[in-house]
């Protein structure tokens, strides 16, 4: 059966069906999914029936999978599948997380961002699988950075074509209330990224920005931050965004180089939300270059 894509909004996001993901994917099926991703930027697959291993196997079709960071004094929730990034509100033992610093750290995910933009090696796709979902809230919201780019005033388009931004995970953590100072952030690693991302497959271009972006290179801090704020607000207007709600087993795939996303609020101290993510590195990075996240977190540990 052929893939069917049902649009979520006219230009952005689709629910896809018609592919049997309980079996290994054929090349033709994967090509159809890849085409749908190029066109829609975000694809939702309901009721996959995936477990960690199937999630990882499916994700590998998209490219090289990142390894989630090994963080000191914090065991992985899924030690057998290091490709699984834990995006839950749970401890490794499976209880609801109450540690204040960890709660504040995760709060940064509620801000509009694109995954891993604070790393030199960017992430292309994220594949988020729902295991447990709250009764209320806990959606993921997405923003269409290609349509937003196309609708930007021409002078802004010109400005961002010639500038880069510096990104830090800790900047978005600070914005969300994590206790860290500007000076401490400036002393930690940052990644310099273009502010636009041309997309080979479609010929379209996306704005590449988000809450990890803290400065525009060559602009005064205030001026750069005003531009970043403008771009995020512009791109997250209702005509460019939508939310996805989940049932266990649902998978959402997004293209980090063409979208932003944010987690929606829910009752984090009383409801369980177990979401797990695989992350596909951009391009054909060699296996031996893997695990830059552990090095990153060793120099800037959230438990510090």
Residue the block writes with tokens 């190029």:
38
Residue nearest to Fe ion (CB): 115
C-beta of 43 vs 152, nearer to Fe ion: 43
Q: Say which residues have a Cβ less than 8 Å from residue 35's Cβ, sequence separation at least 6.
A: none
C-beta of 115 vs 166, nearer to Fe ion: 115
CA max distance for the chain:
56
86 contacts Fe ion (rule: CB under 5 A)? no
CB of 55 to Fe ion, least distance (A): 16
Instruction: Dig out the tokens for 224 from the structure.
Output: 């750069």
C-beta of 97 vs 219, nearer to Fe ion: 97
C-beta of 12 vs 125, nearer to Fe ion: 125
Site string for Fe ion, 99-128 (x = CB under 5 A): ----------------x-------------
C-beta of 115 vs 250, nearer to Fe ion: 115
CB of 109 to Fe ion, least distance (A): 5
Q: E-strand spans in the chain?
A: 4-7, 14-17, 42-45, 85-86, 123-132, 140-144, 164-167, 191-194, 196-198, 205-207, 213-216, 241-244, 251-255, 259-263, 274-281
For residues 220 and 303, give the distance between their C-alpha atoms in angstroms, rounded to a whole number.
31
C-beta of 115 vs 164, nearer to Fe ion: 115
CB of 9 to Fe ion, least distance (A): 20
Residue the block writes with tokens 């552990």:
294
The residue count for binding Fe ion (CB under 5 A) is: 1
For residues 67 and 44, give the distance between their C-alpha atoms in angstroms, rounded to a whole number.
23
CB of 1 to Fe ion, least distance (A): 32
Instruction: Dig out the tokens for 230 from the structure.
Output: 């403008």
Which residue in 150, 149, 127, 151 sits closest to 140, CA to CA? 127
Query: What does the binding site for Fe ion look like in residue numbers (CB under 5 A)?
Result: 115
């Amino acid at each position: 059966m052929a893939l069917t894509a049902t649009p979520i909004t006219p230009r952005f996001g689709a629910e896809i069906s018609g592919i049997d993901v309980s079996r290994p994917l054929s090349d033709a099926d994967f090509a159809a999914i890849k085409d749908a991703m190029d066109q829609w930027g975000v694809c939702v697959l309901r009721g996959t029936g995936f477990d960690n291993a199937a999630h990882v196997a499916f994700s590998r079709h998209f490219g090289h999978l990142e390894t989630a960071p090994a963080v000191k004094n914090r065991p992985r929730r899924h030690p057998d599948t290091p490709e699984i990034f834990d995006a839950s509100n749970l401890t490794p033992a499976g209880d609801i997380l109450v540690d204040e610093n960890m709660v504040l750290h995760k709060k940064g995910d509620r801000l509009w961002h694109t995954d891993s933009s604070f790393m030199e090696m960017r992430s292309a796709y994220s594949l988020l699988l729902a295991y447990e979902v709250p009764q209320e809230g806990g959606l993921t919201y997405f923003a269409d950075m290609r349509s937003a780019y196309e609708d930007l005033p021409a002078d802004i388009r010109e400005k961002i074509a010639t500038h880069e931004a510096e990104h830090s995970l800790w900047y978005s953590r600070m914005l969300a209330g994590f206790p860290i100072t500007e000076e401490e952030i400036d002393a930690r690693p940052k990644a310099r990224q273009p502010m636009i991302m041309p997309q080979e497959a479609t010929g379209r271009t996306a704005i590449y920005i988000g809450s990890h972006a803290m400065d525009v290179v060559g602009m005064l801090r205030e001026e750069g931050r005003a531009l970043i704020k403008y771009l995020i607000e512009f791109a997250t207007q209702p005509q460019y965004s939508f939310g996805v709600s989940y049932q266990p087993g649902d998978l959402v795939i997004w293209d980090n180089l063409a979208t932003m996303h944010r987690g929606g609020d829910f009752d984090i101290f009383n409801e369980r939300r177990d979401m797990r993510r695989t992350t596909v590195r951009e391009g054909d990075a060699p296996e031996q270059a893997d695990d830059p996240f552990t090095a990153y977190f060793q120099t800037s540990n959230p438990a510090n």
